[in-house]
């Protein structure tokens, strides 16, 4: 029984929303970031990176305080405005190939602790601690946790009807996405939605494990402060049928001392290998893997008769590749910290992997078949942890569109 909560959100004014919102801060390279900061005074990037000229010269504490001050400036100048009472939102993202629509709400720390909100990824403690300090110092978060729920007919019909109403905000971005935000302020509607999510049951984190873990850590640190906003964190709730899951492909810098021929012989113990020459080949089914090595593509078909999959984790393609190739043959133990391995999301063209191998930075690349939402939910239900960098999940939220104050 999941709890959702309205909150007194902050958002840009309608005339400036397309100028304010940005992609996630980490998406920007140094040159692109500098250009936005130089030529767009309304960009939320000014808040996220207020001391960009001297960023390397200040510590986290001073930087986080500067973020808080710049955020206050944006509110003072009327670039960002706050709702006068707690609300929910319906939010739609339309791209060339996909349309995503879901509900923005506060989700419960207690549900997170009680495993009503289910997880499938591990977290790095230093990242959790750092973002907790960021939340504590800045007093806001603008990147919701992406959560899925079991598709619900009544809720789907309500969303379709609500999306016919006049939106609060409606704008397009330079990457040709259209974003639409509807405010849900009517108390009867809010109560009905709350009842729907109570009946839906468990929620599943699709993206945002570190953000949710940081919110819990902040709650434990400051729960005696009397701040009720600490009891919740902002989430974007979307039906499990509406998420788009891409694979994360792997690149390895060397063959761990193996020659090409010996490496392929080792692979043949567990895979049926076919050369695809220069065909830009990627797997089309589970238990298939693509490989790019020495100017040629290969298909690797797992010899399933060699394996018994006792649980969902052991049958994941990312786990299979780790257990049969990356760890025993290439000697990669820690997928998070070993600098011999790198990751390319499936949103990138397969030619990206080819180019990175061809230029000599890496020696071999592996292409995977995407994990399904059912596999993610089965993992979470069984309290199992997925290998790092197994999924790249859309939609991605715009920073600065909706802000949850703490």
Tens place of pLDDT per residue across the chain (406 aa): 899 999 999 999 999 999 999 988 888 888 888 888 899 999 999 999 876 555 556 788 888 999 999 999 999 999 999 999 999 999 999 998 899 999 999 999 999 999 999 999 999 999 999 999 999 999 999 999 999 999 999 999 999 999 999 999 999 998 899 999 999 999 999 999 999 999 998 999 999 999 999 999 999 999 999 999 999 999 999 999 999 999 999 999 999 999 999 999 999 999 999 999 999 999 999 999 999 999 999 999 999 999 999 999 999 999 999 999 999 999 999 998 999 999 999 999 999 999 999 999 999 999 999 999 999 999 999 999 999 999 999 999 999 999 999 9
Listed in sequence order, the DSSP H helices in 184-337 are 187-200, 209-222, 260-267, 317-321
Neighbouring C-beta atoms of residue 309, cutoff 10 Å: 12
CA angle 153, 3, 199 (to 5 degrees): 35
Q: Rounded to whole angstroms, how far apart are CA atoms 366 and 341?
A: 11
User: What's residue 149's pLDDT?
Assistant: 97
Contact 105, 5 (CB under 8 A): yes
Write the burial class of residue 31 (CB in 10 Å: 0-12 exposed, 13-18 middle, 19+ buried): exposed
Backbone angles phi, psi at 242, to 5 degrees: -110, 0
pLDDT at 55 (0 to 100): 55
The residue assigned the tokens 């379709």 is: 160
145 neighbors 205 (Cβ within 8 angstroms): yes
What pLDDT is stored for residue 51 in this prediction? 63
Give the pLDDT score at 81: 98
Reading the block at residue 316, the tokens are 């994941």
- Domains of the chain (ranges plus CATH)? 4-242 (no CATH), 246-391 (3.30.1760.10)
> pTM for this structure?
0.93
The burial class, CB within 10 Å (0-12 / 13-18 / 19+), for 380 is buried
d(CA 136, CA 406) in angstroms, rounded, equals: 8
Question: Does the bond joining 14 to the residue before it have cis omega, within 30 degrees of 0?
Answer: no
In the prediction, which pLDDT does 119 show?
Answer: 96
pLDDT reported for residue 58: 72
DSSP 103-170: EEEEEEHHHHHTTSEE--S---HHHHHHHHHHHHHH-EE-SPEEEEE---HHHHHHHHHHTTSPPSEE
């Amino acid at each position: 029984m999941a709890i959702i909560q309205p909150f007194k959100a902050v958002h840009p004014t309608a005339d400036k929303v397309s100028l304010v919102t940005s992609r996630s801060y980490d998406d920007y390279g140094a040159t692109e970031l500098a250009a936005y900061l130089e030529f767009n005074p309304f960009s939320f990037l000014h808040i996220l990176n207020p001391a960009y000229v001297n960023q390397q010269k200040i510590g986290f504490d001073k930087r986080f305080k500067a973020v808080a001050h710049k955020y206050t400036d944006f509110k003072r100048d009327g670039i960002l405005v706050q709702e006068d009472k707690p609300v929910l939102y319906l939010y739609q993202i339309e791209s060339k190939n996909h349309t995503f629509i879901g509900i923005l709400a506060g989700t419960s720390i207690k549900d997170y602790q009680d495993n009503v909100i289910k997880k499938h990824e591990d977290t790095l403690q230093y990242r959790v601690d750092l973002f907790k300090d960021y939340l504590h110092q800045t007093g806001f978060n603008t990147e919701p946790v992406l959560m899925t729920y079991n598709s619900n007919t009544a809720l789907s019909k309500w969303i379709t009807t609500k999306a016919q109403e006049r939106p609060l905000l409606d704008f397009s971005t330079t990457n040709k996405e259209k974003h639409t935000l509807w405010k849900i302020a009517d108390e009867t509607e809010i109560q009905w939605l709350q009842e729907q999510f109570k009946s839906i049951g468990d929620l599943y984190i699709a993206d945002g494990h570190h953000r949710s873990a940081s919110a819990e850590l902040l709650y434990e640190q400051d729960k005696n402060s009397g701040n009720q906003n600490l009891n919740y964190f902002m989430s974007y709730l979307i039906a499990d049928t509406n998420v788009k899951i891409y694979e994360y492909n792997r690149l390895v810098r060397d063959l761990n001392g193996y020659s090409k021929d010996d490496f392929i012989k080792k692979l043949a113990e567990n895979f049926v290998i076919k050369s695809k020459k220069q065909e830009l080949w990627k797997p089309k089914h589970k238990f298939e893997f693509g490989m790019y090595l020495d100017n040629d593509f290969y298909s690797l078909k797992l010899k399933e008769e060699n394996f018994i999959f006792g649980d969902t984790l052991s049958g994941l393609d990312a786990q299979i590749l780790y257990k049969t190739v990356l760890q025993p043959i290439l000697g990669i133990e820690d997928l998070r910290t070993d600098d011999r391995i790198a990751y390319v999301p499936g949103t990138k063209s397969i030619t990206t992997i080819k180019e990175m191998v061809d230029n000599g930075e890496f020696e071999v690349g592996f292409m995977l078949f995407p994990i399904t939402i059912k596999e993610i939910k089965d993992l979470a239900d069984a309290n199992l942890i997925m290998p790092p960098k197994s999924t790249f999940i859309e939609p991605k939220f715009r920073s600065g569109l909706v802000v949850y104050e703490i």
